[in-house]
Structures are given as structure tokens and as C-alpha cells.
Structure 1
């Protein structure tokens, strides 16, 4: 004979149980107390952030850059006697030579009217490199 299987009383056919009612109650609580849930989530997020930041390795300390010192030219030695006289004479001679070279440059520029500034500069540089000047010793470097 075939044995009859019995169904248990808890698993009745077609009964839904109380699960849908529990879901509706949970949804109603979420709708009513949404601000409490937001505060709780914020507290959890802050706690997680604090725990992670304390477990992170320490950052190296920033070393401030040294303050830049003003650039000051070293003091010139104080000249006296013969050194001072030689220095003044050399300065006067350099000033005269510079003035004559400026005059020579203008003379070269005027004597070559069709040349560009680059060509005039190269002519003047070769002229000055040979030690020549129109205004000093009539252009003869051996007399200087």
C-alpha cells in the first residue's frame, strides 16, 4: 500500500504568512524616521573615516624652505695712495676708450650706409679686436 504523505500545518497551501506585513511596517518606519537613519549613517561614516585615518601611516612633516638672503655685493677694498691714483687713471682711460669706441662705431655706421646693423657690428668688432681706433693714436695700436 502506498503511504500517504501528510502536509505539515505550518506550510499550508495558499497562506502568505506575516512577511508582507513586516515589510510594510519596516517601510512605514523608514518613511517616518528617515532623518534618524541619515544621522545614524553619518555617524557610521565618520567613525569609519576616523578609524581609517588613524590606521594610515603618518605623513612626513613639511620642512619650511629657508628664507632667501638678499644678494649683497662684497665690499670693495678701500684704496689709498698709489693704488687709488692708478685706479682713477685706469677708470678715466677706460671711459675715454669707451667714448672713442662709441665715436668709432658711429663713424663705421656712417661710412657703410648700405650695411645692416649686424654687418656693421661685425665690422666694428673686428676693428676693435685689432686694437684700432680712429680717434686713439690715429688707428695704430703700436703707439698706445
Structure 2
């Protein structure tokens, strides 16, 4: 059987067809009736302007966005004066002295029990401090003045 040969569609005469004639006819009509096209464009523009300018339902007023929250700032602390300052300084001095004595007591208990673990030394020190004793204050006797 012999295979038929096909021609590509894009090659040869007749590929363009009658499109150039239609383009020439359209251009000729535009040139001859330009005033009709101008009037049609004007009527469309006037109609669009009238539709946009007519009063439709009232648009809602724009609501301004709420103001941004301001960061919270703690109020300034009152500066202690006079007797308040004296009492505060005395309390701080007493607390720091007790803390220093407890640290000294803890070291003394740790040296007095060299074979004990840290947990056992802490238990001994906590029972010692719970009884109100301190080696550095009154030699550990809570009854002494």
C-alpha cells in the first residue's frame, strides 16, 4: 500500500485566505462612518457618568480604628522617708545578719559531720535552724539573751 502524502497546513497558497479583505473592509467603514463611532462612544461615556453620579443608598461612614493599647507601666514606688526608711534598713540589716549566721552555721555543721552526704547535712542544718538555734548567735542556746 502506498502511503498518502499530506501537505502541511501552513505552507503553500491559500494559507492567509480572505482575512486581508475583511480587514480592508472594516478600515473603510471606520473611515467613512467615524462620526457615528464618535457619537456612540460619547453616548456610552455619558451613560456611565450618569449612572455613577446618581445617588444610591448612603454609604456607611468610615469608623476609625480603635487606638492602639499603650504598654502597661508599673506606677513608681514610693520612696521611704524618715521612720519608714529607718525600719526598712534595720530589717534588712537583721535579715542579712541572720542569713550570714546561718551560712556560718551550715559550714560549721558540714565540717562537724565530714562523712555525711549533702542531703544529710541539709537535714541536720534544717532541724538545727527550726529549733531556733545558731552556733554564731549565743553559742546555740536559744534561752540565753
Q: Please tell me the TM-score bracket, short chain as reference.
A: 0.3 to 0.5
Task: Using structure 2 for the length normalisation, give the TM-score.
Answer: 0.46
Task: Using structure 1 for the length normalisation, give the TM-score.
Answer: 0.46
